[in-house]
Structure 1
Amino acid sequence: MSRPPAQPSRLTTGPFRGTTAVTRGLLTADQLRSSAWRRLFRDVYLHRDVPVTHELRAVAAAGLLLPGAVVSGRSAAVLWGVELARTDDDVELTLPPGRHPVRAGGLRVRRASLAGDDVERRRGVPATTPETTALDLARQVDGDEAVVAVDRVLASGLVDLADLRARAARCRGRGSARARAVCALADERSESPQETRLRVLVVRSGLPVPVPQFTIRVGGRFVARVDLAWPDLRVAVEYDGRWHGGAGQFVRDRQRLNRLQEAGWRVVFVTAEDLHRPGELVARVDRALAVASVRSSGSPARR
């Protein structure tokens, strides 16, 4: 009997079950253990030349390792094009309550009932819909990172915030109150995780609620778009991630700042380090609002 080829072409394009390949005579057990194949999960393999992504691992987990499981949480977000999980993060799956609990390296499996309209096929495997995914993230992700995650799903345009809040209001059971609180803070206009963290900090501090991603115009002419704004007071808060680069970018940044100042706007710049000193940051923004309020009305801003 002839020995099978060491790297059958049909196994070089995607993940496969090792036992199935050996049973069908596509590989020998020794060949499967060679460096040509990368082990993704127990008995699930991939050719070494195929790039490993979280999406590929999620599809392999739900399609081969645990058929019938639904990709959920951050992994479902990745299948919908929202990169909330790194390549090696555990793949999140949901099984029906009656299924036996599963423990396997590289997986995070929970058991929950999902309605038929909570699930769609994505990349060939069942996954929670974008709205269900966002609601799960609101319930399950820790702290303000839940708002960050929901904002990123909203920014994809796959979920409507009003619909999500309405669904959160109807939720019952574990995590429902938390989901409502997260969805109340969520905003599809945030353009980065740091902007979300900054906005949540400002809102929770008791400062007046700002307008995210506000476009400033003077006489119909575009001046700038700022991360957070109090238009009546002409105060803006900008996360400084954009204010770096080569000489050309520096010049453009300065020209932009000059335009804002000429339009009568006061800008508070925030760095990543500032977010680790929230008390000082809030006080700085509060002072800017107070000064602007005196300037515009002659009386301090009311908190």
Structure 2
Amino acid sequence: MGNCRRNRADLLAGLGPEPFLVRDAVARGFTPRQMRHSALTAPYSGVRALAFGGDSLVERALQYLPRLREGERFSHATALALLGCAIYVEPDAPIDVESQPGTTPVRARGVLGHRAARESPPFLLSVPETDQLVPVSPPQTALLQGSARLPFTEVVVALDALIRETEARFDPSVAVRLEDVQALLDASSGRRGAARLRCALGLARIGAESRMETLTRLAGERVGVTGLKLQLVVVDRDGRRIGRFDLADERSRVLFEYDGEQHRTSRTQYLRDLDRLERARDAGWSVRLFHAEEVLAHPDRAGRRMLLATGRSPRPVPVQIRRLLGEWPSPLTVSALPRKSK
């Protein structure tokens, strides 16, 4: 291949779009000088990449993929993010890499190395951003690992995502059953994160379709609003379907909806939702809308609005749950998932 100067198209044709090890490229005939080409980035020592897409936790993990050694896998919060859980992390959160027992944990810039307590096979995951199978901790194990380090509300967000009855982002094999998590907890008494995961399991619900739906529900839980129905299908007085609603109190006939960004960016969606809300009111339901600014910055106020709307008396919140639900998302955290392409 010689030492001739190559443009980006030449490099892409010769190396492909996936991150790669410098030593592998040199073995194929590329020169060290070509590895310093301006079209290449160096996300980790010994790694180069052409298609640097972003700096989310998921994308940074995939850039590390060529450096994974035999038996290593992504774990903890990194595994949960790769599994599609819409958790939020610190902007500079390191990626988590777990090594097998008897081996030295990874030590590298931007990487937090862990050593597994016992040997177990990895869960091979297919993710949209790469053609390679990505080794991660099994979903239930990742939940237990993440529970020891993540803020409590992020653990509930991850649980809600993994017990979802349908999974849009990844293969349905990543979904877990509540009884699977319970079985893991029964076998993990005393392990780090087990007590927190047990509390999160008591608050997890099948049916949440987004991170903000979970957080809206947890805002209610903070002040004692419990037992809301998720994704209730509402019909009109003639039995015709109106649509599904995020949260509902059937006794007081109150619907709670998280009003997301898509309702403002899509005129079609906005008009469709206006019609749906009006029809629900005509059918005898009261509707309360919540926005991210209120739920994230003033969760207790959002919870009290829910309480007032239902006319309920608040149920006492156990001290431990109230303390854990105080671990609310920081405004400084960012999504662990890649930004959606427009």
**Normalising to structure 1: TM-score of the pair?**
0.81
Q: What is the percentage of aligned positions where both structures have the same residue?
A: 30
What's the secondary structure of 2:244's corresponding residue? strand
Letter of the aligned partner of 2:197 in structure 1? A
Higher fraction of helix: 1
Q: CA deviation at 1:198?
A: 1.1
CA deviation vs aligned residue, 1:137-160 (integer Å, no higher than 9, x gap): 334311312211222233335212
What's the secondary structure of 1:36's corresponding residue? coil
CA deviation vs aligned residue, 1:166-225 (integer Å, no higher than 9, x gap): 323432211110111112212231111111111112123212421111112245321232
2:257 to 238, 260, 269: 238
Q: Structure with the greater relative contact order (CA < 8 A, sep ≥ 6): 1 or 2?
A: 2
What is the rounded CA distance, in whole Å, between the counterparts of 2:206 and 2:186 in structure 1? 18
Contact 1:62 1:68 in 2 (8 A): no
1:220 to 207, 226, 239: 239
Q: Which moved more, 1:221-230 or 1:279-288?
A: 279-288
Contact 1:78 1:84 in 2 (8 A): yes
Match of 1:164 in 2: 181
1:184 has 2:184 as partner? no
**Greater Rg over alpha carbons, structure:** 1
1:252 has 2:264 as partner? no
Match of 2:309 in 1: 288
Q: Which runs of 5+ in 2 are unaligned?
A: 126-131, 316-342
Compared CA separation, residues 85 and 16, structure 1 to 2 (3 A): farther
Match of 2:336 in 1: none
What's the secondary structure of 1:131's corresponding residue? helix
Contact 2:97 2:106 in 1 (8 A): no
Q: Which runs of 5+ in 1 are unaligned?
A: 291-299
CA deviation vs aligned residue, 1:11-65 (integer Å, no higher than 9, x gap): 234332213433x36122222222132212111112x356568656535534435
What's the secondary structure of 2:231's corresponding residue? strand
What's the secondary structure of 2:176's corresponding residue? coil
1:144 has 2:159 as partner? no
The within-5 A match list for 1:5-24 is 6=6, 9-22=13-26, 24=27
1:37 has 2:40 as partner? yes
The within-5 A match list for 1:27-176 is 27-46=30-49, 48-49=50-51, 51=53, 57-59=60-62, 61-82=64-85, 84=87, 90-116=94-120, 119-122=122-125, 123-155=132-164, 156=167, 157=172, 158-172=175-189, 173-176=191-194
CA deviation vs aligned residue, 1:74-94 (integer Å, no higher than 9, x gap): 433454455658998633211
Which runs of structure 1 show a deviation greater than 6 angstroms over 4 or more consecutive aligned residues? Answer: 85-88
Match of 1:204 in 2: 222
What is the rounded CA distance, in whole Å, between the counterparts of 2:314 and 2:197 in structure 1? 30
Contact 2:219 2:302 in 1 (8 A): no
What is the rounded CA distance, in whole Å, between the counterparts of 1:250 and 1:120 in structure 2? 40
Compared CA separation, residues 55 and 103, structure 1 to 2 (3 A): same
What's the secondary structure of 2:136's corresponding residue? strand
CA RMSD of aligned residues (A): 3.2
What is the rounded CA distance, in whole Å, between the counterparts of 2:62 and 2:284 in structure 1? 53
What is the rounded CA distance, in whole Å, between the counterparts of 1:145 and 1:71 in structure 2? 18
Task: Give the number of aligned pairs.
Answer: 291
What's the secondary structure of 1:226's corresponding residue? strand
**Normalising to structure 2: TM-score of the pair?**
0.73
